[in-house]
Amino acid sequence: MFRTAILRSAAVASRTTVRSVPKLSGAAAAARLTASPAMRMPKSFVPKVAGNWVAVRGYASAGGLDRTEVYERIKQLLQGFDKVNDPSNINEKAHFANDLGLDSLDTVEVVMAIEEEFSIEIPDKDADQIHSVDKAIEYIVSQPDAN
């Protein structure tokens, strides 16, 4: 379905421009859309035409998160975490256990809080690799569905 929508919109875009499209309605517009030798579509794929506009559904994805934005959000999250021994030690290279004084259970809680903050689910295999702010930032930035 997604591929079909892309092909339809590409076919319509390659055949029509806003300046050169005369106002056609009904069968005349459908005939013009299917008359291009570059791409022939069955009549069942011809979209409804209203004036100069063709209704085609489009899909897009988010642009992703910026590294500095992710760092600031993680920093705020850690500053609100009670078990951090000294919030002034929080920086991009801070290790959860060595620099912030968190034990393994606290690290799991931080990873769970990061999951909630960015609306993602981190698999256990990947969560075991996150032991520092830098690793958390790298993981979040690499996730296209993080927000």
Dihedral angle over CA of 136, 138, 141, 143, nearest 10: -80
Cα angle 41, 43, 47; round to 5: 85
User: Is residue 103 annotated as a catalytic residue, yes or no?
Assistant: yes
Q: Which residues contact 5 (CB under 8 A, 6 or more apart)?
A: 56, 57, 58, 59
For residues 98 and 79, give the distance between their C-alpha atoms in angstroms, rounded to a whole number.
16
CA pair distance 106, 100, nearest whole angstrom: 10
Of 66, 99, 103, 128, which residue is the catalytic one? 103
Please identify every residue annotated as catalytic. Answer: 103
